[in-house]
Amino acid sequence: METKDRILQEALKLFAAKGYDGVSMRQIAAAVGIQAASLYSHYAGKESIFNAIIALSQERYAQTMQRLGFGPGPSPDPRSMLGLKEKDLQRISRELFLYLLKDETAAPLRRMLSSEQSRDSIAGKTYQSLYVDEVLESQTRVFEALIAAGEIRKGDPAVTALHFYAPFLLLLNRYDRKPEREAEALAAVEAHVSQFLRRYGKKAK
Amino acid sequence: METKDRILQEALKLFAAKGYDGVSMRQIAAAVGIQAASLYSHYAGKESIFNAIIALSQERYAQTMQRLGFGPGPSPDPRSMLGLKEKDLQRISRELFLYLLKDETAAPLRRMLSSEQSRDSIAGKTYQSLYVDEVLESQTRVFEALIAAGEIRKGDPAVTALHFYAPFLLLLNRYDRKPEREAEALAAVEAHVSQFLRRYGKKAK
DNA sequence: GTCTATACGCGGATAGAC
DNA sequence: GTCTATCCGCGTATAGAC
């Protein structure tokens, strides 16, 4: 792998763990295995590394989210959500949750953006759009279709999306960086989805 | 007001806005109106100020949360929640939301703990217990009582508490530091509570 | 592209006068 | 309890050899 990319990879891990201000150029360089001065052959400075991380990670993230049907663009197929069985929704939910919780790129990106939300306005806007606005927007469209199809009870689709997605964010925060409680976390996700369907689904099961 | 307390007050504001590492002792001193060296007459160092903020703010926070029925201790009165009308729940929800969003102590405390969650283990544990564990635990007890009383549909009380509370955290994050969107935020809270009651309440209204 | 050497400011913190 | 003066290390970043 190119040095230029390894810098982003290592810096992301460090920023996620210690925060932007808590990481020095020397530490990043050490993690990569070069001298601090050499970083400047690849990036103009620290802020430049930070911005490059956001730009790059965002792309990979967007692709996976779209595949799972939580993306900003056109869902994998609006109709693929119709006729979805509980079992399928549980699988997708589990996949989404584990991706955001543990994926090597997605998890550090989320942690970094979350903690830098207030300090850096780009980080703040990116966090909001990636983990809040885009997901809610996308899920609102999905529920609109499901309500129209009669698979989900009538109600405001935006509120329904909020009811479905908000617990994911809370559980992510709660079980973040606690690998020993992963089973508990997954059980909580499953219980949430299950009860959501019992409250919102047209038919039992 | 005593200098010792003013230090905590100003430091909290700064930490909430720029993060712990982003604030210098000189900046704190300037906000208070004294020299940096004078801070050491009141606190052993920066970390000591940080810890004192948490300890102090936590007390005030706990009192208010308990009053609203989201506290860790015995709810204001377990039965006071019974026979609650939608109107009352809307009022309490609104009060809770605005308190967490805008209160002069509560809002900066929440922002600071949230952004320092990963960097500082005390901050992380405090955030989890104040904004996640204690609230969910407390709400779980409330819903247990309401389900037993037949005012809320049968279901896992812990999941029900999650469904009720998680949207608050998401909306807080979404509308934090955006005073111009406050009306929109309150409308979202109201829509959430309203639809929650329609899905979970025994009777319409 | 990577290294060594170095500049320079700002960080937290202390000493000691008033 | 507040001040001025100061210490010292570490932060980002640059210069220039290889």
Residue partners of B134: CB distance under 8 A and separation at least 6:
B65, B70, B71, B72
Q: Which of residues 33-92 of A touch strand C (CB under 7 A)?
A: 33-38, 41-42
* DSSP track, B135-180: HHHHHHHHHHHHHHTTSB-SS-HHHHHHHHHHHHHHHHHHHTT-GG
Give the gap in angstroms from C-alpha A63 to the nearest C-alpha of chain B.
Answer: 23
Angle at A169 between CA B180 and CA B168, to 5 degrees: 45
Nucleotide closest to residue B7 (CA–C1')? D1
Distance CA B110, CA B106 (A): 6
Task: Quick: pLDDT tens for A109-163.
Answer: 999 999 999 999 999 999 999 999 999 999 999 999 999 999 999 999 999 999 9
Fold assignment, A53-200 = Tetracycline Repressor; domain 2 (1.10.357)
CB contact under 8 A, A158 and B116: no
Question: Does the beta-carbon distance from A155 to B18 stay under 8 Å?
Answer: no
Measured CA to CA, the distance from residue B134 to residue B100 in angstroms comes to 15
On whether the CB atoms of residues B116 and A119 are closer than 8 A, the answer is no
A201 touches chain B (CB under 8 A): no
d(CA B19, CA B31): 16
Structure tokens at A1: 């792998």
A106 CA from C9 C1′ (Å):
36
- B54-200: CATH topology is Tetracycline Repressor; domain 2 (1.10.357)
Buried b (16+ CB within 10 A) or exposed e, B75-107: beeeeebeebeeeebeebbeebbbbbbeeebbb
For B20-58, the pLDDT digits (tens) are 999 999 999 999 999 999 999 999 999 999 999 999 999
Res A82: pLDDT? 76
Task: Using the predicted structure, report yes or no on whether residue B204 has a pLDDT greater than 50.
Answer: no
Cβ contact, residue pair B162, A111, below 8 Å: no
**Rounded CA Rg of chain B:** 19
pLDDT digits (tens, 9 = 90+) for B81-103: 777 899 999 999 999 999 999 99
What are the b/e assignments for B5-17, b being 16+ CB within 10 Å? Answer: eebbbbbbbbbbb
- Of the pLDDT bands very low, low, confident and very high (cuts 50, 70, 90), residue A205 is very low
Torsion sign, CA atoms A147, A148, A154, A155: positive
pTM (whole model) above 0.85: yes
Q: How far is CA A187 from the centre of its chain?
A: 19
- Kindly tell me if the per-residue pLDDT of A189 is higher than 80: yes
Residue B205 has pLDDT above 60, yes or no: no
pLDDT of B8 over the 60 cut: yes
Q: Which residue has the higher pLDDT, A69 or B106?
A: B106
As a whole number, the mean pLDDT across chain A is 94
Closest residue in B to A191 (Cα–Cα): B159
CB–CB of B118 and A119 under 8 A? no
> What average pLDDT does range B141-155 have in this prediction?
94
Per-residue pLDDT tens over the stretch B153-186? 999 999 999 999 999 999 999 999 999 999 999 9
**Residue A203 — pLDDT band, cuts 50, 70, 90?**
low
Percent of chain B at pLDDT exceeding 70: 95
Q: Write the pLDDT tens digit of every residue in A82-102.
A: 788 999 999 999 999 999 999
Give me chain B's average pLDDT, please: 94
Put simply, whether B84 touches A (Cβ < 8 Å) is no
Q: What is the residue extent of each domain of chain A?
A: 53-200
